[in-house]
């Protein structure tokens, strides 16, 4: 089984990057990959509870991430959470917090890395 690391660095609304990152990470398990989704920079907003997309035309990804967290590891970067003022108790269920060690190891172990 190959390892896939999907890194999301963009916010969930305004660009399609977040939706594509979640779609690719979720679809990878159907193709015999061990997928890890890692939220970094403004990508951490995707893991925030009670998202309101407003009139952006985008859907919130919270429910999808909660469902995927049962099938794969989903991490948020601790420094990015602090930078964007998101508290740990404001994250959806199933999201793990990483100080950078998991990311370093995943970069070493993954045969494929996708950055959004």
Six-digit token pair at 95? 């999201």
Interval 101-114 mean pLDDT: 97
Of 35, 43, 99, 95, residue with least CA distance to 65: 95
Q: What percent of the chain has pLDDT over 70?
A: 95
- With the CA atoms of 87, 47, 57 and 14 taken in that order, what torsion angle do they form, in degrees rounded to the nearest 10? 80
The Cα 79–Cα 73 span in angstroms is 18
Q: Is the pLDDT of residue 94 over 80?
A: yes
Q: What does the DSSP 8-state code read for residue 48?
A: B
Q: Is the pLDDT of residue 59 over 90?
A: no
pLDDT of residue 55: 75
Residue 15's domain comprises 2-115
Residue 34's CATH number: 3.40.1260.10
Q: Is the pLDDT of residue 53 over 90?
A: no
pLDDT of residue 15: 82
pLDDT of residue 29: 73
Across the chain, mean pLDDT equals 91
The tally of domains found in the chain comes to 1
Q: Are 101 and 78 in contact (CB under 8 A)?
A: no
């Amino acid at each position: 089984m190959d390892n896939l690391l999907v890194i999301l660095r963009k916010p969930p609304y305004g660009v399609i990057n977040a939706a594509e990152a979640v779609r690719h990470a979720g679809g990878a398990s159907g193709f015999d990959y061990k997928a890890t989704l890692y939220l970094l920079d403004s990508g951490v907003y995707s893991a925030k509870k009670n998202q309101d997309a407003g009139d952006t035309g985008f859907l919130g990804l919270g429910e999808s991430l909660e469902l995927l967290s049962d099938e794969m590891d989903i991490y948020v970067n601790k420094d990015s959470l602090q930078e964007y003022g998101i508290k740990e108790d404001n994250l959806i269920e199933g999201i793990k917090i990483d100080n950078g060690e998991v990311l370093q190891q995943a970069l070493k172990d993954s045969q494929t890395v996708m950055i959004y």
